[in-house]
C-alpha cells in the first residue's frame, strides 16, 4: 500500500511510522499526516458495470434474468439488452433498437425480462413487448407487440407466467392476459381501472404480478394491490386493497414496487412504505398485512426487489443499500428483523437500486441491479466480521445539556459516565439523554444498538445506528441496558448498564407522605372525637329533655292527686257528715233508713275507689314494691270476709 494522490483507499502518506492491529482485526497505521484505518471486513461485494460495453458506465440495470444455458440477461435504461457471463460480467452480446429493422429490440429502455416454460425470452420495453425464440442469438428476431396489436399501453413494466402457463403483462395503462391459440396467434385480454366493478383494477398503472400459495395472482400497482379471482367460466374479477387511514393491518403505502413468494409460501409485498407480509389463512379470506419499516430496523422503507437465500433469509434492495431480513421475526417480535445491512461502502454498485431488478440462480447466487451496475454474490460466502463488540456509555445530557463530572450544583456524576454504575437525579433533572458507543471500528458508522430501560420500556428498543436514548422519567428507580452489533449484525453479549434513581420533590418524598398520613390520621381522629362529643351532647340533651318531661308529668300527677284528694275528700266528708246528721234525726226504723244505708255504702265504695285513683296518680307509688304492697292490701281486703286464706310474701330487699 502506498500513497496515491487523488485516489481513495491508499495510505495518507508514504511515511508510515507505526502500525497496530486491534482485537477486531482492524489495522491502524500512524503516518506523517495522520492516522489511517484499514478494515479487512469492509468490502464484501464485487460490482459489474455495463462499462464493459461501449456504453456509459452509469447505465442503470433495470431488469435481470438467467436463461437455461446459464447466461445472464440484463436490461438497461437507454443501453438496450445485454447478455453477460454471470461469473465474469463479460459482455457476450448486446441488443439495441434499430429503427430500420422491425425485428430488432422495440426500445432501448428495458423494464422486465421473462424466460417462459418454452424457453422463450420475453422483453418488456418502453415501447411495447417482444419475445425471442430460444437458440436464435446468432440471427436474433424479436417478435414485437404494441398498442396496435392489442396491448393496453406501449410502456410495459413487468411479465409473469402463471402455473397455467398464461403470460400476464403489466403495463402503464392496464393489465393484459396473453392468449396463444393455434391459427389465431396472440390475443390480448385487457383489464383496467375503468372497467365496471368487480372487473376493475385498483389502478391501471401496473408493475408486476406473482402467484400465492392458493393459486391467486396478485398485481402490484401505482395505487394499491389487486388480487385476481378467476371464475370457472374463465371470467375474472379483482379483490382490491389500498391504504386505509387508521387501520394498522392495511397497506401502509399504495405505491407497490415488488411482489415475492418465498419457499414457505408466504407472500411479501415491497412498497414505498416498507415491507408487508400478506396474512391470509384461507383462500377466500380477505387479507391483512403485517408491516415492517423503520421501527423494525429497516434503514429505508422503499423496497425495490426481494430475493431469498438458501437459508431462508430475505435480501431486500432499497434506496439505502441491501438489507438481510429474517422472516421469523414476523412470528416472534423478540427476534431482530434486520440481520445485516450493506451499502456502497461494502462494495455495492451504489446504495440506490432499481425496482424489480433482481434474480437468483440455481446455485444460490443472488443478483441485484441498481443505478450504477449490478452486484452478484453468494450470501454464504460473504466474509463476516465475527467480532462481537462491547459497548460503553459516553455521554449524559440533562435537558439536552451535556453534564460533566463535578459541576457544582448541577452534575450527578462523580466520575465519567463510562465508569459510573449509578446516578441519582433530583426531581427537576428528570429529562435525560444517554449516549453510548460500540468499541468496534471496522465500520463504526454501521454499528447498531438496542437499549432497554427497566421500569419504563416494555422491551428492547431497536435503535439502528442511533447511539442516544432520551427519557422523561417520573421519580423512581430504573436500570438502563444497552448492547451493540457490528456492521455484519453480530450482537455482543456484553451489556452496559446504569442504575438511575430520580428523587421525588419534598412534597412527594417518603417523609412527606408520612406527614400526610399523620395529618390525615389526626384529622380523622379529631373529626371522630368531635362527632363523638356531638353525639354525647345530643344524647345528654335528649336525656335532659326526657327527665324534664318526666318530672313535669310527675308534678302534674302529684298535683292532680292532691287536687282529687282534697276536693273529693272534702265532698265525701260533707256527705258522711250529712248522713250522720240525717241518721240522728231519723231515730228508729223508718222507711228512709235503708236508702241512707245504701248512700253510706256507695260513699264508702267511692272513697275506696278514690284512694285507688289517687294512689295510681301519685308518682311516688311508681315502683314495683309499692305495687306489690298495694296488691297485698287489696287482696286482704277482698278476701277478708270470704273464708279464703290469702297471703302475700314480700321478697323485696327491704322486707
CB 165 within 8 A of CB 177: no
CATH fold of 391-508, please? Immunoglobulin-like (2.60.40)
pLDDT of residue 126: 98
- Cell numbers for 442: 471496522
Q: Where are the extended beta strands (E) located within 409-524?
A: 422-425, 431-438, 448-454, 461-464, 468-472, 476-485, 496-502
pLDDT of the residue at 487: 84
| Each residue's pLDDT tens digit, 183-230 | 778 999 999 999 988 899 999 999 999 999 999 999 999 999 999 998
Distance in angstroms (rounded) separating the CA atoms of residues 24 and 38 = 11
What is the arrangement of strands in the sheet containing 288-292, beginning at the earlier edge strand?
256-261, 267-271, 274-279, 288-292
Number of H helices, E strands in the chain: 3, 40
Could you report the per-residue pLDDT of 149-166, keeping only the tens digit for each? 999 999 999 999 999 999
Cα 51 from chain centroid (whole Å) = 49
Query: pTM value?
Result: 0.70
Could you state, in chain order, the average pLDDT of each consecutive group of 10 residues for the chain (655 residues)? 63 80 80 78 73 56 96 95 91 94 96 97 98 89 96 97 96 96 87 92 98 96 96 89 95 98 97 96 85 93 98 97 96 89 90 97 96 93 88 95 84 91 93 96 89 95 91 96 91 94 87 90 94 93 90 78 70 76 71 74 71 63 65 72 74 55
Q: Write phi, then psi, for 397 (nearest 5 degrees).
A: -120, 140
- Judge whether 109 and 126 are in contact, CB under 8 Å: yes
What number of other Cβ atoms are within 10 A of residue 5's Cβ?
5
What are the beta bridge partners of residue 380? none
Q: Is 78 helix (H, G, I), strand (E, B) or coil?
A: coil
Q: How far apart are CA 202 and CA 182, in angstroms?
A: 33
d(CA 271, CA 252): 8
DSSP string spanning 34-72?
EEEEE-TTS---EEE-GGGSSS-TT--EEEEEE-TTSPE
Amino acid at each position: 500500500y502506498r500513497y496515491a494522490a487523488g485516489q481513495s483507499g491508499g495510505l495518507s502518506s508514504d511515511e508510515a511510522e507505526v502500525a497496530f492491529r486491534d482485537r477486531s482485526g482492524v489495522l491502524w497505521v500512524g503516518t506523517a499526516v495522520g492516522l489511517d484505518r484499514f478494515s479487512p471486513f469492509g468490502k464484501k461485494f464485487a460490482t459489474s458495470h455495463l462499462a464493459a460495453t461501449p456504453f456509459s458506465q452509469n447505465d442503470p440495470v433495470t431488469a435481470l434474468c438467467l436463461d437455461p444455458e446459464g447466461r445472464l440477461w440484463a436490461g438497461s435504461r437507454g443501453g438496450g439488452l445485454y447478455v453477460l457471463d454471470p461469473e465474469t460480467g463479460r459482455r457476450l452480446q448486446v441488443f439495441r433498437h434499430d429503427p430500420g429493422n422491425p425485428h430488432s429490440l422495440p426500445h432501448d429502455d428495458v423494464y422486465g425480462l421473462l424466460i417462459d416454460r418454452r424457453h422463450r425470452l420475453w422483453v418488456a420495453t418502453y415501447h411495447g413487448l417482444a419475445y425471442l425464440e430460444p437458440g436464435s442469438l446468432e440471427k436474433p428476431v424479436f417478435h414485437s407487440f404494441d398498442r396496435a396489436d392489442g396491448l393496453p399501453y406501449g410502456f410495459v413494466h413487468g411479465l409473469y407466467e402463471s402455473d397455467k402457463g398464461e403470460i400476464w403483462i403489466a403495463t402503464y395503462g392496464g393489465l393484459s392476459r396473453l392468449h396463444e391459440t393455434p391459427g389465431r396467434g396472440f390475443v390480448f385480454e385487457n383489464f383496467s381501472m375503468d372497467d365496471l366493478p368487480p372487473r376493475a383494477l385498483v389502478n391501471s398503472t401496473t408493475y408486476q404480478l406473482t402467484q400465492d400459495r392458493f393459486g391467486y395472482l396478485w398485481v402490484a400497482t401505482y395505487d394499491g394491490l389487486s388480487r385476481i379471482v378467476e371464475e370457472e367460466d374463465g371470467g375474472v374479477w379483482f379483490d382490491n386493497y389500498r391504504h386505509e387511514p387508521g387501520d394498522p393491518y392495511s397497506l401502509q403505502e399504495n405505491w407497490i414496487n415488488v411482489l415475492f413468494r418465498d419457499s414457505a409460501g408466504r407472500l411479501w409485498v415491497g412498497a414505498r412504505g416498507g415491507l408487508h407480509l400478506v396474512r391470509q389463512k384461507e383462500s377466500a379470506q380477505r387479507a391483512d398485512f403485517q408491516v415492517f419499516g423503520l421501527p423494525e430496523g429497516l434503514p429505508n422503507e422503499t423496497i425495490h426487489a426481494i430475493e431469498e437465500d438458501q437459508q431462508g433469509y430475505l435480501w431486500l434492495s432499497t434506496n439505502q443499500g441491501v438489507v438481510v431480513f429474517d422472516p421469523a421475526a414476523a412470528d416472534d417480535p423478540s427476534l431482530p428483523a434486520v440481520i445485516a445491512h450493506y451499502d456502497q461502502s461494502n462494495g455495492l454498485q451504489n446504495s440506490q437500486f432499481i425496482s424489480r431488478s433482481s434474480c437468483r440462480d440455481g446455485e444460490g447466487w443472488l443478483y441485484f441491479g441498481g443505478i450504477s451496475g449490478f452486484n452478484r454474490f453468494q450470501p454464504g460466502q460473504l466474509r463476516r466480521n465475527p467480532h462481537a463488540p462491547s459497548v460503553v456509555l459516553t455521554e449524559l445530557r440533562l435537558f439536552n445539556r451535556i453534564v460533566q463530572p463535578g459541576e457544582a450544583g448541577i452534575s450527578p456524576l462523580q466520575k465519567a459516565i463510562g465508569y459510573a454504575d449509578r446516578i441519582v437525579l433530583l426531581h427537576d433533572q428528570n429529562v435525560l439523554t444517554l449516549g453510548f458507543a460500540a468499541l468496534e471500528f471496522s465500520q463504526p458508522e454501521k454499528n447498531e444498538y438496542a437499549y432497554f430501560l427497566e421500569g419504563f420500556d416494555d422491551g428492547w428498543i431497536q435503535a439502528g445506528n442511533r447511539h442516544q436514548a432520551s427519557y422523561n422519567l417520573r421519580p423512581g428507580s430504573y436500570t438502563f441496558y444497552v448492547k451493540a452489533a457490528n456492521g455484519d449484525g453480530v450482537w455482543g453479549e456484553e451489556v452496559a448498564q446504569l442504575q438511575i434513581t430520580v428523587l421525588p420533590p419534598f412534597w412527594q418524598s417518603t417523609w412527606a407522605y408520612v406527614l400526610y398520613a399523620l395529618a390525615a390520621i389526626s384529622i380523622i381522629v379529631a373529626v371522630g372525637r368531635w362527632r363523638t362529643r356531638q353525639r354525647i351532647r345530643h344524647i345528654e340533651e335528649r336525656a335532659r329533655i326526657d327527665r324534664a318531661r318526666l318530672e313535669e308529668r310527675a308534678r302534674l300527677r302529684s298535683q292532680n292527686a292532691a287536687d282529687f284528694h282534697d276536693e273529693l275528700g272534702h265532698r265525701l266528708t260533707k256527705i258522711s257528715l250529712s248522713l250522720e246528721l240525717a241518721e240522728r234525726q231519723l231515730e228508729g226504723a223508718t222507711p228512709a233508713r235503708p236508702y241512707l244505708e245504701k248512700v253510706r255504702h256507695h260513699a264508702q265504695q267511692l272513697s275506696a275507689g278514690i284512694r285507688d285513683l289517687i294512689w295510681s296518680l301519685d308518682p311516688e307509688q311508681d315502683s314495683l314494691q309499692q305495687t306489690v304492697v298495694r296488691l297485698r292490701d287489696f287482696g286482704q281486703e277482698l278476701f277478708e270476709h270470704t273464708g279464703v286464706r290469702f297471703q302475700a310474701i314480700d321478697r323485696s330487699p327491704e322486707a
